[in-house]
Amino acid sequence: MKRSLKNNQRKKQLNRQHNKMTSRRQSHFNQVINELFESQASSQVN
């Protein structure tokens, strides 16, 4: 019984870490896309 609880906690912790990484990667990706989009928009205006 105790061991399954530990596994559960471990799983939760891993999920938290994974979510942190995923959100960081997602925000970085969004940043890159925004920069690309802005540079394209400004080059179309000229």
Average pLDDT over residues 41-45: 74
Structure tokens that stand for 24 in this block: 């960081």
Q: Quick one: pLDDT at residue 46?
A: 57
Chain length of the chain: 46
Average pLDDT over residues 30-40: 92
In the chain, the amino acid numbered 5 is L
Q: pTM score > 0.95 for this model?
A: no
Phi-psi region of 44 (alpha: psi -120 to 50; beta: other; left: phi over 0): alpha
Q: Quick one: pLDDT at residue 12?
A: 93
Average pLDDT over residues 19-41: 92
Using alpha carbons, list the distances in angstroms from residue 29 to 5, 22, 24: 36, 10, 9
